[in-house]
Amino acid sequence: MKTLEKPVPPGGTIGIIGGGQLGRMLSLAAARLGLKSCIYNDTPDAPAFQVTQNAVAALYDDLNMLAGFADACDAVTFEFENLPAHAIAHLAERVPVRPGAHALAMTQDRLTEKTFVEKLGLKTAPFFDVTSAEQAREAFGKLNGKGILKTRRFGYDGKGQAKVASADDTARAFESFKGAPSILEGFVDFSYEVSVVAARGADGAFAAYDPPHNEHENHILRRSTVPSQLTPAQVSEAKAMAKKIADALDYVGVLAVEMFVGKDGGLLVNEIAPRVHNSGHWTIEACQCSQFEQHIRAVAGWPLGDPVRHADAVMENIIGAEADAWEALARGGALHLYGKKESRPGRKMGHVTRLRGKA
């Protein structure tokens, strides 16, 4: 197996599994540092293929193709977490994979993730394992009010989730998931949502960006604004929580920790994303070192960049047919279009970031 005893030098190759917009922006960040990228995606029309000369279109569990991909790379990372664990383990036998299989496994399963966070002494919404309709009813009885039933795996942007207000609701929701192992979370009456996008290097160095205030529509992130309403003490606490998680996972790369801010000002961990994150896109224009460059630096074994923010910013997602108004969008702010051929309702087609003078 290749080892990263020394940083990957300019001219080296970073493998990126997943060819969506995150892989695309990671590839662009690698190029800025003089690093090549090789994109592996399960379909040949990946947006990230447009920005690299090295592309592999094959199934994520094709071990022979993955082996060839690994041999062409000095280090490998991924842009999304719903990957076959055995495939990542196969890759890790041939090339350094950052973040590693442990972090991926911990965050692929919502129950495993919540249990891990709770053991760290960090607060979460109350949660219960649900593997049957009967257990769904029993779990709801333990809640003090409404809840959200979620599949333990493969959910994002509101998929695999259902709000429930009774034991019958919970049982029906579980049955609608066709018996998929699930988790029932208590409804949190929060004031707003924030996230900490942060990086941990191979040497244990830690660097966190300012937490943005995140607003969602139809379970999809609509906009992220920095600065948020958090007090300086809350900002420090949020970053410390993210560091505790990253250290416990022996994490290498960028991760995002989504948090609820309670009515009392307390911070609760909602979800962990083991990758660069939509709520960190504003860092491209508002920081010296973006989350994408930061991730490439960590994966390649380079020193982490400075996460300091030099401007206030609002990042808004461009969703579905909104991308058709690209001419108007191009007149106001830093426009990023992801090169997707077809716009569909709920599909992230791009984003625009508008900067303001830092307060």
In the predicted structure, residue 209 carries a pLDDT above the cut 80: yes
Token code pair at residue 293: 């460059």
Q: Which residues contact 172 (CB under 8 A, 6 or more apart)?
A: none
pLDDT for 359 beyond 60: no
Same domain, 200 and 346: yes
**What pLDDT, in 10s, does the model give residues 319-344?**
999 999 999 999 989 999 999 999 99
The answer as to whether 219 is a domain residue is yes
CATH, residue 162 = 3.30.1490.20
> Taking the C-alpha atoms of 3, 84, 11 and 305 in order, what is their torsion angle to the nearest 10 degrees?
-80
The confidence score (pLDDT) of residue 230 equals 98
Residues 176 and 298 in one domain: no
**CA 11/CA 74 separation, integer angstroms:** 10
Mean pLDDT for 13-28 is 98
pLDDT at 256: 98
Residue 252 token pair: 């290498």
Residue 108 forms part of a structural domain: no
Mean pLDDT of 94-103: 93
Number of domains in the chain: 3
Q: What's residue 157's pLDDT? A: 56
Q: Are residues 221 and 337 in the same domain?
A: yes
Domain membership flag for residue 42: yes
Claim to verify: residue 182 and residue 243 sit in the same structural domain: no
Domain of residue 296 covers 190-356
pLDDT score, position 156: 60
Residue 43 domain-assigned?
Answer: yes
The pair of structure tokens assigned to 351 is 């984003």
pLDDT of the residue at 1: 67
**Which of 159, 186, 213 is the C-terminal boundary of a domain?**
186
Structure tokens at 84: 């076959």
pLDDT exceeds cutoff 90 at 358: no
Residues 203 and 306 in one domain: yes
Q: How confident is the model at residue 160 (pLDDT cuts 50, 70, 90)?
A: confident
Do residue 182 and residue 198 come from a single domain? no
Confidence of residue 82 (pLDDT cuts 50, 70, 90): confident
Worst-scoring range by mean pLDDT, 142-146, 152-156, 332-336? Answer: 152-156
Q: With 80 as the cut, is the pLDDT of residue 110 above it? A: yes
**Does 196 lie in the same domain as 156?**
no
The pLDDT value recorded for residue 179 is 85
251-262, pLDDT tens digit by residue? 999 999 999 999
The answer on 67 and 139 residing in a single domain is no
pLDDT in tens, 35-78: 999 999 999 999 999 999 999 999 999 999 999 999 999 999 99
| Contacts of 198 by beta carbon, 8 Å cutoff, 6+ apart | 206, 207, 208, 209, 239, 242, 243, 246, 254, 255, 256, 257, 307
Last residue of a domain, one of 186, 205, 229: 186
Indicate the SS3 state at residue 17: strand
23 confidence band (pLDDT: 50, 70, 90)? very high
Do 227 and 271 belong to one domain?
A: yes
pLDDT of residue 4: 74
206 and 301 within one domain: yes
Residue with the two structure tokens 């604004």: 225
Please check whether residues 346 and 199 belong to one and the same domain.
yes
Choosing from 97, 112, 145, the residue where a domain stops is 97
Same domain, 59 and 148: no
Q: How confident is the model at residue 178 (pLDDT cuts 50, 70, 90)?
A: confident
